[in-house]
Amino acid sequence: MIKKAIFVCVLIFLLMFCLNLTSFGLSTKPAEESAGHALLDSLVVTFKELAEQREEVLRKTNEALISMMKEAKKARGQGQIDSVFFKRYHRILMVLKCVIIEVPAEDAGIMKPLYFGAINKFIEDIEGEPSDIEKAGGKAAIAKFTQAVSHELIELRIYLDNKEKREELIKEYQEFLAISKDIPDLAEKDRQLMSMKDIATINWAISDYVTDFGVPPKQEGTYDKQGEFDKTLSPFYIKVLPVKDKWGNGFRVYSGKACNGVYEGIKGCTDKDTLIISYGRDGKKENWKYNPKSPEAGLYKLKSEKDYDKDLVMLNGTWIRAPGTKKK
């Protein structure tokens, strides 16, 4: 489907990426590092070696992919890598396999959509936008595919390097929520927790924007994927900006002076303030008053089903209405 000459170009592009990866200190892990790092390093080294070859490049690439898959399965079976890493690593090998498979002319009409579909879906999932490399063709197809593989390799490296921090953050959220074990509806609890995580994610993206520009992007109320607020933050400050909470209701973001009066008690906001809101399970704004002298007064314990209808509100990175523990 992609001829030998084009695939060699892909390998050269990947070689350039791998050299950059090494220059940033991401591919110089010692041998005693984790199996996940070793698998990524193996992939990087293989790209480098193959990019320097010309003869039998497709056959040798296929052999290398088979070998790397065996090593990944072995590491997964021994518990050295988790299922998340294994699936994403396996997917990289799969799309590379799709690239080098030559489809017989008589099977082209049947098999080509399958192979192109897998590659396009991979690119779309990584880059966040639809792709059609068959239509793009030539250099454009090579660039799209190579960029997606490069980005996924970086994401996997970041995933491995931050596993401990991520687990600590999850534990911190669980302790922060202090959810009662007497509440039987785990589905609602999970929706609330994930909605809070999405609000925190939106806040991080806005904070990164503020670092560059000094003030948050302009926004007042709900937004969608086609709006200016989403385009301002995504994909540079965040790959995919959450739009709806886990009950299917749109998040509301207010920036600058637009924060004033959204809830009674919120006033005196300047162009640097940000308010992020989920209206909770019922999707209706709660009749709640903010006390600026005691911001933690809006935190509450989950005691009944009705508590899932309460709003989730973050002001300038601080929860002012959410499940939590008030300071004594």
Kindly tell me if the per-residue pLDDT of 244 is higher than 90.
yes
The domain limits of the chain are 4-161, 182-323
Burial tier of 320 (Cβ tally within 10 Å: 0-12, 13-18, 19+): buried
Burial tier of 225 (Cβ tally within 10 Å: 0-12, 13-18, 19+): exposed
> Rounded to 5 degrees, what angle do the CA atoms 58, 62, 64 make?
115
Average pLDDT over residues 313-320: 95
More confident residue, 324 or 112: 324
Q: What is the mean pLDDT of the chain?
A: 79
Kindly tell me if the per-residue pLDDT of 218 is higher than 70.
yes
Render pLDDT for 31-80 as a digit per residue (tens, 0 to 9): 334 787 778 777 766 655 555 554 566 677 778 888 888 988 888 888 88
Q: Which token pair is 43?
A: 């992939």
More confident residue, 202 or 104: 202
Yes or no: say if 156 and 85 are a contact pair by the CB < 8 Å rule: yes
Q: For residues 207 and 279, give the distance between their C-alpha atoms in angstroms, rounded to a whole number.
A: 22
SS3 205: helix
Looking at domain 182-323, its CATH architecture is 2-Layer Sandwich (3.30)
Q: For residues 325 and 43, give the distance between their C-alpha atoms in angstroms, rounded to a whole number.
A: 46
What does 266-327 look like in DSSP terms, one character per residue? -----TT-EEEEE-TTTT-----B--TT-GGGGEE---SGGGGGS-EEEETTEEEEEE----
